[in-house]
C-alpha cells in the first residue's frame, strides 16, 4: 500500500509507476483503492463506474479496468454532499457527516474487502493506494481505505511524503508515530516525492529520516514535468489558462466550478496544431476558434454560474460570429433550450434555460448511464468505428419544433441508436467522453481552420503516446527507488 502524509503527495502517480514496473518485471499486477473521491471517473468494459486514477493505473498494468479496483467512489456534488457509487453503481447522495457516521459503515467495509479479495485472487501483486493522510486519527474508527484496509490485505505500507510543500520530516514522522503499535509495524518504507534541486543535498536528510523514523527510505523521486500521466483532480487547470496564440487553432475550454472528465482534452492539448486553454474570461472566449463546454457533476449550478459571470453570453456571441461550439456531457446539456430537474436531483431549481444553440431539452433523471461506446460519425458511416464512454444522468431529446433539415445526429452508436446533435460544423453536442481521443473527430473539428495552421502534422496517436509515458514514468521511478529492497520487503526477506 502506498499511503500518504496528505492529499496530492503523488500516491496515484507512483502507484501507476509501480504497476508498470511490476508488469515489466514479469508480474501480473492490478491497482486497488477501496474508496476514492473524485469527479474524474471512467466507465469499465461492463458499463460501470470507477475513479479515473484506477483506470489509468490499470492501463499502466496492461489490464482492463474493473470496479473491484475501486469499489467505492464519492463524487462531490457540493461542498457538503457527494454521490456514492458502490461497485460501479450510484446508491444515493450523502452529506459528509452522515457518510462518516458508524451506522452502516460495516456494510461498506465488507463490500470493499470483498472487492479486494476478488481482485487478489486474480492478480499479484496488488498495488494498493490509500486516501489523503493516514494520520486522521479522528476518523480512525470509520476509515475504510487506509490502515484498516492494509490490515485486511496484510499489506506492507510505504509512506509517500511531498518534500516540495515543506515539512516532510514532521509529516512523515508524525504520520508514523500517530499509528497504533500494530499499524506502525506494518510501515516498511518511506518514499520522498517531488524533490527539486541537487539530490546530494538530501543525503544527510535521508539518513536523519531513517534515524528518527526507524524505517528505511526506499527512494527520493525528483519532481518532473516532462512525463504526462492523466491527473486525478482539476486543481491545476486554472494554471493552464493562457491567452490565444497566432498560427494555431485556439481552443477555449470553459472553466466550470464542477468540471469533470477534463482528461477529455489531453489529446487535443498535445496536438501541435492546437493551443488549448481553460478560461471563463469573456475576452479570451471571444478570441477562440473553438469553444468547448466540458462535462460537469452539477450541470444546473455551473450553467447558472456561467450566466452570472458573463461567460454564457460570450459563448452565444462568439457562436453568432462564427466560432465552433462543442458540448460534451453536461456541456452538451447546456447547449439546449432547457434543462429540467423535476425531482430535484441537482438542487432546488426545477428548470433553467440553456444557451439555446441546439433545439434540445434535457430532463435530469435518477437513472445513470455508464457504458463504453463504439460509434461512427453520422456523416461518415463507412469509416472505422470510434471509441469513447458515457457517464451521465439525464435524457436529452430533440424539440418538437426543431428544423430537422438543419439539425442531425452527430454519431451512430454500434447498437443502432444515435447520440448527440449537430447543426453542421459550427455547433455539436454529445454525451460521449473520449470522443476527442479519436483522430478522425479531431480532424473534423480542425478542418475549418486549416488556413490558420502554420505547421502541418500527422494525427496524434493517443495509445502509443500513453504507453510511452508509462514507460518513461516507470524508468524515472525505477531510477530513484531501490526496487531490490522493495522486492525483499514484499517477499518478507528483510
CATH number where 33 lies: 3.40.50.300
**Which range marks the domain in which residue 271 is found?**
248-453
Residue with cell 521511478: 477
Residues 440 and 300 in one domain: yes
Residues 436 and 368 in one domain: yes
User: Which residue is catalytic, options 19, 65, 213, 329?
Assistant: 329
CA distance 410 to 405: 14
Could you tell me the pTM of the whole model?
A: 0.83
Instruction: Determine, yes or no, domain membership for 334.
Output: yes
- For the question of residue 329 being annotated catalytic, the response is yes
Grid coordinates of 85: 457509487
Render pLDDT for 265-281 as a digit per residue (tens, 0 to 9).
989 998 889 999 999 99
Q: Is the dihedral of CA 485, 490, 491, 494 positive or negative?
A: positive
Residues 155 and 257 in one domain: no
CA distance 207 to 306: 52
| pLDDT in the model for residue 302 | 95
Residues 345 and 212 in one domain: no
Instruction: Determine, yes or no, domain membership for 239.
Output: no
Residues 373 and 446 in one domain: yes
Instruction: Determine, yes or no, domain membership for 448.
Output: yes
Residues 178 and 282 in one domain: no
Instruction: Determine, yes or no, domain membership for 262.
Output: yes
CATH number where 330 lies: 3.40.50.880
Say which residues have a Cβ less than 8 Å from residue 451's Cβ, sequence separation at least 6: none
User: Which residue is catalytic, options 275, 319, 392, 433?
Assistant: 433
Residues 192 and 253 in one domain: no
Instruction: Determine, yes or no, domain membership for 436.
Output: yes
| pLDDT in the model for residue 294 | 96
Tally of domains in the chain: 2
Instruction: Determine, yes or no, domain membership for 462.
Output: no
| pLDDT in the model for residue 248 | 87
| Low-confidence residues of the chain: pLDDT under 50 | none
Residues 54 and 162 in one domain: yes
Instruction: Determine, yes or no, domain membership for 208.
Output: yes
| pLDDT in the model for residue 242 | 59
Residues 403 and 478 in one domain: no
Instruction: Determine, yes or no, domain membership for 213.
Output: yes
Phi, psi angle pair for 112, to nearest 5°: -70, -35
Residues 155 and 112 in one domain: yes
CA distance 77 to 91: 14
Residues 108 and 216 in one domain: yes
Residues 175 and 283 in one domain: no
Amino acid at each position: 500500500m502506498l499511503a500518504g502524509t496528505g492529499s496530492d503527495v503523488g500516491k496515484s502517480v507512483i502507484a501507476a509507476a509501480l504497476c508498470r514496473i511490476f508488469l515489466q518485471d514479469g508480474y501480473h499486477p492490478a491497482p486497488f483503492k477501496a474508496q476514492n473521491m473524485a469527479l474524474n471517473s471512467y466507465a469499465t468494459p461492463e458499463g460501470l463506474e470507477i475513479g479515473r486514477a484506477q483506470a489509468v493505473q490499470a492501463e499502466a498494468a496492461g489490464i482492463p479496468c474493473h470496479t473491484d479496483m475501486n469499489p467505492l467512489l464519492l463524487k462531490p456534488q457540493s461542498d457538503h454532499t457527494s454521490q456514492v457509487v458502490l461497485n460501479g453503481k450510484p446508491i444515493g447522495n450523502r452529506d459528509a457527516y452522515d457518510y462518516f457516521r458508524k451506522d452502516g459503515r460495516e456494510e461498506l467495509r465488507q463490500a470493499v474487502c470483498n472487492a479486494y479479495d476478488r481482485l487478489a485472487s486474480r492478480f499479484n501483486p496488488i498495488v494498493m493506494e490509500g486516501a489523503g493522510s493516514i494520520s486522521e486519527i479522528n476518523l480512525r474508527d470509520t476509515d475504510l481505505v487506509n490502515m484498516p484496509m492494509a490490515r485486511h490485505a496484510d499489506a506492507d505500507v510505504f509512506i509517500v511524503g511531498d518534500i516540495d510543500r515543506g515539512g516532510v520530516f514532521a509529516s512523515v514522522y508524525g504520520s508514523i508515530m500517530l499509528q497504533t503499535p500494530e499499524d506502525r509495524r506494518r510501515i516498511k518504507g518511506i518514499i520522498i516525492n517531488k524533490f527539486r534541486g541537487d539530490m546530494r543535498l538530501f543525503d544527510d536528510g535521508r539518513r536523519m529520516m531513517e534515524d528518527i523514523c526507524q524505517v528505511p527510505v526506499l527512494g527520493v523521486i525528483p519532481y518532473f514535468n516532462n512525463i504526462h500521466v492523466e491527473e486525478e483532480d482539476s486543481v491545476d487547470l486554472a494554471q493552464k489558462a493562457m491567452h490565444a496564440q497566432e498560427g494555431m487553432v485556439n481552443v477555449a475550454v470553459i472553466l466550470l466550478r464542477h468540471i469533470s472528465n477534463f482528461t477529455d482534452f489531453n489529446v487535443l492539448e498535445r496536438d501541435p496544431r492546437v493551443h488549448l486553454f481553460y478560461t471563463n474570461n469573456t475576452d479570451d472566449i471571444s478570441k477562440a476558434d473553438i469553444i468547448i463546454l466540458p462535462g460537469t457533476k452539477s450541470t444546473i449550478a455551473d450553467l447558472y454560474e456561467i450566466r452570472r459571470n458573463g461567460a454564457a453570453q460570450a459563448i452565444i456571441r462568439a457562436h453568432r460570429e462564427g466560432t465552433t461550439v462543442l458540448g460534451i456531457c453536461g456541456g452538451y446539456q447546456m447547449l439546449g433550450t432547457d434543462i429540467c430537474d423535476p425531482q430535484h436531483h441537482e438542487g432546488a431549481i426545477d428548470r433553467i434555460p440553456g444557451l439555446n444553440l441546439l433545439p434540445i431539452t434535457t430532463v435530469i433523471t435518477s437513472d445513470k448511464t455508464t457504458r463504453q461506446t463504439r460509434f461512427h460519425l453520422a456523416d461518415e458511416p463507412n469509416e472505422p468505428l470510434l471509441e469513447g464512454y458515457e457517464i451521465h444522468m439525464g435524457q436529452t431529446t430533440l424539440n418538437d419544433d426543431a428544423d430537422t433539415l438543419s439539425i442531425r445526429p452527430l454519431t451512430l452508436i454500434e447498437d443502432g441508436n444515435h447520440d448527440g446533435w449537430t447543426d453542421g460544423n459550427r455547433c455539436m453536442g454529445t454525451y460521449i467522453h473520449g470522443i476527442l481521443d479519436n483522430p478522425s473527430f479531431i480532424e473534423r473539428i480542425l478542418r475549418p481552420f486549416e488556413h490558420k495552421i502554420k505547421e502541418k502534422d500527422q494525427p496524434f496517436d493517443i495509445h502509443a503516446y500513453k504507453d510511452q509515458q508509462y514507460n518513461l514514468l516507470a524508468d524515472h521511478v525505477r531510477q530513484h527507488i531501490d526496487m531490490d529492497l522493495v522486492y525483499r520487503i514484499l517477499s518478507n526477506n528483510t
